[in-house]
Amino acid sequence: MRVTVLGVPSSTGAYCVGVESAPAALREAGLLDALRAAGADVVDAGDLTTRFWHPDREHPFAQNVGDEAESMRELSAAAAGLIADGERLLVLGGSCLVAVGLCAALAQRGDRPRLVYLDRHLDLNTPHSTTEGSLSWMGMAHALALEGAAPELVSAAGDAPLLQPADLVYLGADPSGAATEWEREQVSALGLAIVDQTALCDDPGSAAQRALDAMTGGPFVVHLDVDVLDFLDAPIAENVNGRNSGPTIAVLGSALSVLLQHPDCLGLSLGQLVPAHAASEPTAVPRLIAALVSALTTD
């Protein structure tokens, strides 16, 4: 398996600075060496432009929307030239908007974007449905071009909508406890498929297969927001609220293996990892790397 690694050191769409350090931290922790040791043919495509979150008082409900649109265009252009059949592109974010950029790259190369979204949250909010202002809570709303989405981001992703509802499946989400009423309304109106947190924790392999079965067939990518994890098992996420719920890294790894070994899978994006939080549990990042490497290299 050839694995191409591309870093997106950007926190513009996050809640604050921190996640932009994740690509460097994963490299320093030995991700590429571990992939090579497991037999992967590794290509390091380097990092895209480093961008930092800053208080955007002109766009309080869509923080740094212009910078995030630039980051998305840069990622989609770079990734479109790196995606290849039979290989895997590993995109290290950064905020969760990397998932939208990766899907936009599929569209640029002529594929219909399909996405398994491994996240505690639905990310279906818009600047009009919440006052939080963090675009990383809004990625899927913009991919689906929902009413109220920021036009700068919708247009940056390419032809709208980037994703059709049948081409998006959630895995590990907690819609009853980690979603707004607006998001739950969109799930119902669009008929979005969710294989929830309980199903993922109870039987990760089966849950991953259910997610694949619920999506239209064809090439797809996976996005992993590390806040899907139990924060006490792996305190590495920007969002620290997921304590005592969600999968452990070991459980997550079982699901990732099913997804990433599927012949139609073209890549994985990873977001919302904060190295400063990871410092509280020195084994967490090495365990995550081991899970990623196993999922990418073990048939």
How many beta carbons lie within 10 A of that of residue 16, not counting itself? 14
CATH superfamily of 2-297: Ureohydrolase domain (3.40.800.10)
Tell me if 187 sits within 8 A of 175, measured CB to CB. yes
pTM: 0.97
Tell me if 35 sits within 8 A of 297, measured CB to CB. yes
Instruction: Provide the percentage of residues in the chain whose pLDDT is more than 70.
Output: 100
Distance CA 242, CA 232 (A): 8
Segment 76-104, tens digit of pLDDT: 999 999 999 999 999 999 999 999 999 99
Domain chopping of the chain, boundaries: 2-297
Segment 164-179, tens digit of pLDDT: 999 999 999 999 988 9
What is the model's pLDDT at position 253?
98
User: What's the token pair of residue 132?
Assistant: 């939080």
Segment 219-277, tens digit of pLDDT: 999 999 999 999 999 999 998 887 889 999 999 999 999 999 999 999 999 999 999 99
